[in-house]
Amino acid sequence: MRLLEDRIRTDGKVRGGDVLKVDGFLNHMIDVRFVAELGREFYRLFKDCGINKILTIESSGIGVACLTAQFFDCPVVFAKKAKTKNIDADVYTASVFSYTHGRTYDIMVSKDYLGKGDRVLFIDDFLAKGAALIGIVDIVRQSGAELVGAGIVIEKAYQDGGERIRSLGVRVESLARIASMSEEGGIVFCD
Amino acid sequence: MRLLEDRIRTDGKVRGGDVLKVDGFLNHMIDVRFVAELGREFYRLFKDCGINKILTIESSGIGVACLTAQFFDCPVVFAKKAKTKNIDADVYTASVFSYTHGRTYDIMVSKDYLGKGDRVLFIDDFLAKGAALIGIVDIVRQSGAELVGAGIVIEKAYQDGGERIRSLGVRVESLARIASMSEEGGIVFCD
């Protein structure tokens, strides 16, 4: 998506440790009008898929998920990061390894809000190694819902997450796919 | 706001430990169309105040803040809960005592996204003892911005947070104000 690539080129900052900071419009300050345009694009891509629920993970996915959900006229469910090991029978849980923080955490979704008959679109800001999305695939499978696809704002296509998720049969649509990036060389997008 | 009070009566669940669960439309699953109506009401209340930025705290404030910001056509900045003590010179920080979790955590906002000249509306899902909002007042003061007001979805008016914040001169508008609640007696709203 040209609009997004231009914005990343203008406002994104490549930092050491494979970090792309897009805090100025997506992750800390949210340019709501701009992000709604990303939502409109997700709608264009998935509008014929019968989606009735959008799923994301707190925190940074929530804004884009809500602004996207308006086009689908459906609710958003956000998976919560569990503070403690949750053995509550009322929730689906999955473990996610965070490469950023070097530890495993649990995500959970209440059984009240996801289940058989739901057609789910997962929305998130980033896809890199795919750990969070693997956890989501697990939770949706537990619930009996169908994961129709994943709408990702920025995919680090030089990492293997996208390939892992696609090899599971999940349709992944990323609005910007980064082929490579470095502090010296800047950002190169996939064709 | 009648629409909200009705929804809380229908879908809210009072639990022990002074918990009002509104997970079904506000806090875990977000009824985006409904929450946008709350945003429209915040806009009606604050539309003549020259607001150019909406501030909230991750995670549960982000959805309502984004859906509200569309009416104001302004960006959202969400204060982040710091994982570690942040002594970065590039951020404003404040300490917040969480009564829910019984511990103090730090919130932070990048200096890039809040400063002199900004007219800020704080948006959040709950106001109870006001600890988070006290932290926000501190951060906005540090930044030189002006806190025009606070738009709260649900205020537990039987706790002292609202009074504390109003006594600081901050205009607080709560869409539902709970006078009392209990598992046996249900929810009573203020007149």
pLDDT average, residue stretch B14-37: 95
Residues from chain A contacting residue B29 (CB–CB below 8 Å): 75-77, 110, 112-113
Q: What is the DSSP string of chain B?
A: -HHHHHHHHHH-EEETTTEEE-IIIIISEE-HHHHHHHHHHHHHHHTTS---EEEEETTTTHHHHHHHHHHHT--EEEEEEPSS----TTEEEEEEEETTTTEEEEEEEEGGG--TT-EEEEEEEEESS-HHHHHHHHHHHHHT-EEEEEEEEEEETTSSHHHHHHHTT--EEEEEEEEEEETTTEEEE--
Task: Choose the closest CB to A30 out of B25, B35, B75.
Answer: B75
pTM here is 0.96
State the pLDDT at residue A88: 62
- pLDDT, tens digit (0-9, with 9 covering 90-100), for B95-153: 999 887 788 999 999 999 999 999 999 999 999 999 999 999 999 999 999 999 999 99
With 0-12 / 13-18 / 19 or more C-beta atoms within 10 angstroms meaning exposed / middle / buried, residue A52 is middle
Q: Is A45 helix (H, G, I), strand (E, B) or coil?
A: helix
Residues from chain A contacting residue B78 (CB–CB below 8 Å): 28, 30, 59, 63
- pLDDT, tens digit (0-9, with 9 covering 90-100), for A161-170: 999 999 999 9
State the pLDDT at residue B177: 98
* Closest residue on chain A to B36 (Cα): A70
Residues from chain B contacting residue A30 (CB–CB below 8 Å): 62, 66, 69, 75-78
- Listed by number, the residues of chain A in 124-183 with a beta carbon closer than 8 Å to a beta carbon of chain B are none
CA–centroid distance for B73 within its chain: 19
Task: Give the separation between CA B23 and CA A90, rounded to whole angstroms.
Answer: 13
| Separation in Å, CA of A31 to nearest CA in chain B | 5
**ipTM score of the complex?**
0.96
